[in-house]
Structure 1
């Protein structure tokens, strides 16, 4: 028996997304979990973690955002995908599909990096019972640390603008930052990280003020980050949580040495090599 079922999600604008649904092995005692990926990271990256959650009794779904992985339709340079569309169209479609498959009333949203940063522009946010934001922060440039603090401005201000003209996309694969990005995803990523607040910077520009739900969200939000994460630093995690003044928020910092790891960083929490961290994440999924 296959561990997952491949699904096609249809967004409100007709765009199709590729997803995987992992049915709960035992009768699910908790709400279904929607895994929302980081920027440029495909659903395959989360496979082992999803299988583990499935074995714990959860129904789980993970998907590729439009313009990424199996949700890329046609040549990358022609993709019109954007981060705003991820929040306003892709996540809502994933929420509704997961609820339809499980007959649950709400989902727990487990977002990795960007996947946990967009609830404030998700129109059906009321169907989310809780957010667990792994490596979730605003990624504000001034709050970055280490090499990333030096490299990010070069990527955002030089590489992305030049590549938009010469290649028609954001060349992140060459620098080890996931799949290459649609040009508008790359551009918005740079814009949103240039000031505090991430997607809040799109309100009144790319997002109508009527579609800003940050102050209306009351579900609990837990941010889990590592002390050696150069992007989701304590400063940037706090910057994300402040956007939800009506929500009950919690911060959980993981130190690599406490779990016998040399590093955790921004990406390794979902790797099988770091599966001793998975129970820490799972503990936060219960509402």
Structure 2
């Protein structure tokens, strides 16, 4: 017996997103949770965490951004998806879908990496009661750490531009960074991370509706000390974009929880389940 329901979410522009809905195992007054994925990460990656949250009394929705996983329709090289569409169209539609399923007035957004970085361009942001930005940061290239700091310029300035012409998409799978990306997602990712501020760099250029100043809901960034992307500098860079929100940072150190690493991805893995109660504490705070 399946512990989730498969859904199709229709966005304002008619695009269909594949989603999973995990109903709560108990009746309660908890706000429903929307899990927004990281760049190139499919909804299945969040299955164990979503299932666990439902057992803790939360209704949970996960989905694939357009151009990714089951939300890719047709050939990847023909996809016109972009990161700004993820924020302006996909996340708003997922919010409305979850509210419709639960008859709630607001949701809690648990965003992984890019999934927690786009609220400032989400039109229905007022329906978000709280944001938990897991590994959330701006990903500013110069503030990266370790191997990622070396790899990022090669990926952004060499691999992506060449692959855009030769392959028609961003080949991230070959370097272990999730699913291959639609060409405009890859292009915007490189552009957004070239300067501090991430999506703020597109305001007034390709994005003309900016809600960062209007957002007042609490935003908590939960990040790991060994995360090469969400460095302390980049986490702070994200939170500064919301001057009127109550923001906070929660740092996790691998050794303190019996792990050799946490990094950018492991917080949602079943191997790191002992970290989930920390995320739940932030959700319920």
TM range, normalised to the smaller chain?
over 0.9
Q: Paired residue for 2:270?
A: 272
Alpha-carbon distance between aligned partners in 2 of 1:200 and 1:166, rounded to the nearest angstrom? 30
Within-5 A mapping of 1:1-287: 1-208=1-208, 211-286=209-284
Alpha-carbon distance between aligned partners in 2 of 1:178 and 1:274, rounded to the nearest angstrom? 19
Q: Where do 5+ consecutive residues of structure 1 fail to align?
A: none
Per the TM alignment, residue 286 of structure 1 is displaced from its structure 2 partner at its CA by 1.9
Alpha-carbon distance between aligned partners in 1 of 2:256 and 2:104, rounded to the nearest angstrom? 36
Q: Which 4+ stretches in 1 moved above 4 angstroms?
A: none
Secondary structure (helix, strand or coil) at the match of 1:247 reads: coil
**What's the Cα RMSD here?**
0.6
Superposed CA deviations along residues 121-180 of structure 1, whole A, max 9, x for unmatched, are 000000000000000000000110001001000000000000000000000000000000
Per the TM alignment, residue 2 of structure 1 is displaced from its structure 2 partner at its CA by 1.6
Alpha-carbon distance between aligned partners in 2 of 1:137 and 1:60, rounded to the nearest angstrom? 23
Superposed CA deviations along residues 196-243 of structure 1, whole A, max 9, x for unmatched, are 0000001011101xx100000000000000000000000000000000
TM-score (norm 1): 0.99
Superposed CA deviations along residues 46-67 of structure 1, whole A, max 9, x for unmatched, are 0000000000000000000000
TM-score (norm 2): 0.99
Secondary structure (helix, strand or coil) at the match of 2:105 reads: coil
8 Å Cα contact 1:28-1:59 kept in structure 2: no
Per the TM alignment, residue 29 of structure 1 is displaced from its structure 2 partner at its CA by 3.0
Aligned residues: 285
Q: Where do 5+ consecutive residues of structure 2 fail to align?
A: none
